[in-house]
Amino acid sequence: MKTSRDFILREIAGEYILVPTGEAAVRLNGLIALNELGCFIFQTLQTEQTEQTLVDAIVAEYDVTREEAAADAQAFVQQLAQAGVLAEDD
């Protein structure tokens, strides 16, 4: 899994915002605010990742257990998918 190129991450006044571009801007009317972990996951998903490698990255970056990292990653990736932020499989 990886993020679609139709979303750009911006930091505005200390807030992380996903800005849709292209077709995503037509589908999604608005912006998506991210917390620090959401920003980290989005940046990690700029390259192809498996669920395992994403969890590994979160555990390496934050002081959390594998179970916490897996639960957070799964919940956030599901939200990204629902918002159309993940790239479609080719």
Instruction: Please indicate, yes or no, if residue 47 is contained in any of the structural domains.
Output: yes
Q: Which pLDDT does position 28 carry in this prediction?
A: 81
pTM of the prediction? Answer: 0.89
Instruction: Please indicate, yes or no, if residue 89 is contained in any of the structural domains.
Output: no
Q: For residues 5 and 48, is the Cβ–Cβ distance under 8 A? A: no
Both tokens assigned to 66 = 């594998």
- Which residues span the domain enclosing 35? 7-83
Instruction: Please indicate, yes or no, if residue 27 is contained in any of the structural domains.
Output: yes
Could you read off the pLDDT of 30-58 as tens digits, one per residue? 899 999 999 999 999 999 999 999 999 99
41 torsion bin: left (phi>0), alpha (psi -120 to 50), beta (else): alpha
pLDDT of 90 strictly over 50: no
Mean pLDDT (whole number) for 53-81: 96
Instruction: Please indicate, yes or no, if residue 55 is contained in any of the structural domains.
Output: yes
Overall domain count for the chain: 1
Rounded Cα–Cα distance for residues 36 and 41 (Å): 9
Give the CATH number, domain containing residue 39.
1.10.10
